[in-house]
Amino acid sequence: MALTVVGSVAFDSLETPFGERERILGGAATHFSLAASFFTRVNAVGVVGGDFGEPEWDVFRRHLIVTDDIEVVPDGKTFFWKGRYDYDMNTAHTLDTQLNVFETFAPKLSESSRNAEYVFLANIQPTLQREVGVQCKNAKFVAMDTMNYWITSAKDELTETIKSVDCIIINDAEARQLTDEPNIHKAARKILDFGLKAVVIKRGEYGATLFTKDQFFVVPAYPLESVFDPTGAGDTFAGGFMGYLASHDEITESILRRAMIYGSVMASFNVERFGTERVDALDYPEINQRFTDFKRMTHFDDIPFERATVA
Ligand code: AMP
């Protein structure tokens, strides 16, 4: 089934302890689309400037991502983000954000984008997110992301948007900030009480947790020994998660759990090289192998149950 994503398409300049890159392809919608494209047809909705070149479009083309709704403003410049990571790669330090054409972004959805059954509202202004959600009348499952900036500056609008979706995928600090609740379980339950079917809380290298009514499911991050660049890991997780869901007609607890594993698997590839380099070069056997390894490594069934007793 079709999946539509709306969000940033960007040039990123990145510094990590392992190297630097200048003005490489990035953006939430980009990372999301690439990961999701391995599972389903993806419509990307965004905006770029005249500086967005053929090498960047080629990345989308290679993965058959539909870019008809990525508006081009010929005399404008593409959104630019510069970030640095220290040895704690769970924390991005923003060095520069130049919104450029993204500042006046008004998502325009073609009929085919509007008709998608699955929709992901990446991190953009909450009212714009809601407007996109409303336009997607056929949507069976709408998920969203956000960031601390919107929680601080537009909490009421953000809350309205959260109430309109089925799932939110955010990190633990954002969940605490959003609910004024230090305990992550209580925070997740408070968000579920807005009427959502699922809340996914990401914790960087410590994995992610899925909260649904009365249940929770923890997925570790795939145990990688070489992490080069975490930029886009969250969006790649969301792309794997939503892409996998969109390859199914119905959403059950078991399918949501498998989607969590695919999210984790896709994110693990993303961080192995800078920007989109690794996911762009991925193939299906690698994805399937890592999914199999992941299941084998996290298998609890082999551990015999022993009742706790006093010796
Ligand atoms: P992630 O590491 O998954 O949180 O996402 C990183 C991506 O988000 C980068 O490729 C950036 O281009 C993009 N990004 C950074 N800041 C913003 C922002 N304020 N709005 C939208 N996208 C952003």
Condensed to tens digits (0 to 9), the pLDDT of residues 233-242 reads: 999 999 999 9
Asked whether 81 lines ligand 1 (CB < 6 A), one says yes
- For residue 48, the tally of other CB atoms under 10 A from its CB is 28
Q: How confident is the model at residue 308 (pLDDT cuts 50, 70, 90)?
A: confident
| φ, ψ for residue 187, nearest 5 deg | -60, -45
For ligand 1, whether the C-beta of 8 sits within 6 Å is yes
Per-residue model confidence (pLDDT) at position 16:
94
Can you list the alpha helix ranges (DSSP code H) found in 180-232?
184-192
Burial (CB < 10 A; 0-12, 13-18, 19+), residue 308, is exposed
Is the pLDDT confidence value at 304 over 70? no
Whether ligand 1 lies within 6 angstroms of the CB of 275 is answered as no
pLDDT value of residue 303: 62
Amino acid, res. 166: D
What is the arithmetic mean of pLDDT over 169-181? 96
**Interacting residues of 47 by C-beta distance below 8 A, sequence separation 6+:** 9, 70, 71, 72, 73, 79, 101, 102, 105
User: What pLDDT score does 204 carry?
Assistant: 86
Q: Is 263 in the pocket of ligand 1 (CB under 6 A)?
A: no
Which pLDDT band, with edges at 50, 70 and 90, does 263 fall under? very high
CA distances from 125 to 114, 121, 147, 240 (A): 19, 10, 10, 23
Confidence of residue 70 (pLDDT cuts 50, 70, 90): very high
pLDDT score of 301 more than 60: no
Instruction: Give yes or no for residue 28 CB within 6 A of ligand 1.
Output: yes
CA of 259 to the centre of ligand 1 (A): 22
Look at residue 306 and tell me whether its pLDDT is greater than 80.
no
Look at 233-237, 270-274, 298-302 and tell me which has the smallest mean pLDDT: 298-302
Cα 287 to averaged position of ligand 1 atoms, centre (Å): 24
Overall average pLDDT of the 130-139 stretch: 95
pLDDT at 250 over 70: yes
Would you call 93 helix, strand, or coil by DSSP? Answer: strand
